[in-house]
Amino acid sequence: MLNLRLDPSDVSRYPWQWSRSGWRCGPSWAEPYDHPMTDARAITDGTRTALITSATVTGSDKSGAFPVLIDAETYDSTLAAARAERDD
């Protein structure tokens, strides 16, 4: 789950950055719900950014909130895997 405020003009001009409790992109922001049963992570290929929240997996690394720069192919496969993990 996320609390957020998005302005389309912000997200095309500024990179997403982690800031204490959530991601910031200019005046836009997204804060993941802080709960021990949820994980939050961000991936970017320098053009697109995905903010991903999911149920915690046993033994998962909770340090994934900082946006990770990856190539476009890895971005696509990581996003596809995150979508496939959803069971709703």
pLDDT tens, N- to C-terminus, the chain (88 residues)? 788 898 888 777 888 888 888 888 888 999 888 788 888 888 888 888 888 888 777 665 555 567 888 999 999 999 998 888 765 5
Task: Decide: pTM greater than 0.75.
Answer: no
Count of other CB atoms within 10 angstroms of residue 40: 22
- Using one digit for the tens of pLDDT, what is the confidence trace for 50-60? 888 887 776 65
* Residue 19 Cα to chain centre, angstroms: 13
For the chain, the C-alpha Rg in angstroms (whole number) is 13
Q: Residue 42 in contact with residue 64, Cβ under 8 Å? A: yes
